[in-house]
Structure 1
Amino acid sequence: MTAPIPRSALLLAIAGLLPFLWGVATLLIDPAYDLAYSTLGGRFVAPYVQLNYGQVILAFMSGVLWGFATKARAEQAAICYALSVIPALWAFFMAGGGPVSAAMNLIFGYLGLLALDWQFWRWGLAPGWWMRLRLPMTLAVIACLLVGVFR
């Protein structure tokens, strides 16, 4: 049996979903949009909050993968370091344009990140519980971004 997801990691990961969920709320609930826009400004309403935060988190996850790469040896380490920068570069180069294309590119970025998460986990560089955390988190992020794409 694999170790359970550490409570702090789980709680922080769930907290990390809040900006994506807030983006959905401001997309679907006019009073939430109005309140956020008037008190916090345009950066904190959909689609901007989701797209900007989505880029930040892809870059953050590159750093997490970089940390996992430090456990690799010899030639595998070079491969892992190279793979670890892909999500950040993807976010930088592909999340521009209009909100729909940016959201779709972020979705593809998160799917690619999930594949990298799985590979690092399969290589034994990520904790045993990693995929049990990453899969539902990725699905939640993608679902939130899809609301903006299809609304």
Structure 2
Amino acid sequence: MGGIPRTPLLLALAGLIPFVVSAMTLLNDSAYALMLDLLGGRFVGPYLQLSYGVMILGFMSGVLWGFATRAPAALAPYCYALSVIPALWGYLMAGGGPVSAGMNLVFGYLGLLALDWQFWRWGLAPAWWLRLRVPMTAAVVLCLMVGVVL
């Protein structure tokens, strides 16, 4: 992941931990039991995936909002409007059962990647942004798909 500053890279990788843990607890009964014993029911399987997934979509909306502050005046209203979409998507679409909520989060993260690309294309995101966001999105979608399929 050359060219990505060390601190954002390390924090992004640390941010993957709950997604990976949630997928592991769905794939492995021993991991499920261990996490259940250590941290409780909110930190296993779909509960962790869905709550953390919605929270991170909201966080990423804030990142896009920050990029919007750099937009030229004519583009800024569109950037601000686009920046709130991931948070609204997570809030409105991650209800229901774990399968539909998980699929909607997958769509939310893929949509977020499209917004990341657009903000990068407009020159509002750092030059290295997509080198970070593409593999991160792939990892998140893969982990969420474990919850959708199982």
What TM-score range do you get, normalising by the shorter chain? over 0.9
Amino acid in structure 1 at the alignment position of 2:140: V
Q: Deviations over 1:110-133 (max 9, x none)?
A: 000000000000000000000000
Q: Structure 1: 5+ residue runs without aligned partners? A: none
Instruction: Determine the structure 1 residue equivalent to 2:86.
Output: 87
Rounded to whole Å, the distance in 1 between the matches of 2:118 and 2:88 is 19
Following superposition of structure 1 onto structure 2, how do residues 1-151 of structure 1 map, counting pairs within 5 Å? 4-151=3-150
1:73: how far off? 1.3
* CA positional deviation for 1:32: 1.1
Q: CA deviation at 1:35?
A: 1.5
Q: Distance in 2 between matches of 1:129 and 1:39?
A: 37
> Which TM-score applies when normalising by structure 1?
0.97
Deviates most, 9-18 or 30-39: 30-39
CA distance in 2, matches of 1:19, 1:98: 20
Q: Which segments of 5 or more consecutive residues in structure 2 lack a partner in the other structure?
A: none
> Could you tell me which amino acid in structure 2 is paired with residue 98 of structure 1?
G
Distance 1:56 1:80 in 2: 21
Matched AA of 2:82: L
Residue 74 of structure 1 and its aligned partner are, at CA, apart by: 1.2
Question: What is the CA–CA distance in structure 2 between the aligned matches of 1:14 and 1:40, rounded to whole Å?
Answer: 21
Residue by residue over 1:84-135, the C-alpha shift from the partner in whole angstroms, topping out at 9 and shown as x without a partner, is 0000000000000000000000000000000000000000000000000000
The residue identity in structure 1 corresponding to 2:16 is L
Q: In structure 1, what is the Cα distance between the partners aligned to 2:38 and 2:126?
A: 41
Supply the AA of the counterpart residue of 2:26.
L
Alpha-carbon shift at residue 75 of structure 1 (Å): 2.1
After the TM superposition, list the runs of 4 or more consecutive aligned residues in structure 1 that deviate by more than 2 angstroms.
Answer: none
Question: 1:68: Cα distance to partner?
Answer: 0.1
How many Å separate the matches in 2 of 1:59 and 1:52? 11
TM-score normalised according to structure 2 size = 0.97
Number of aligned residues: 149
Task: State percent identity of aligned pairs.
Answer: 70
SS in 1 for 2:95: coil
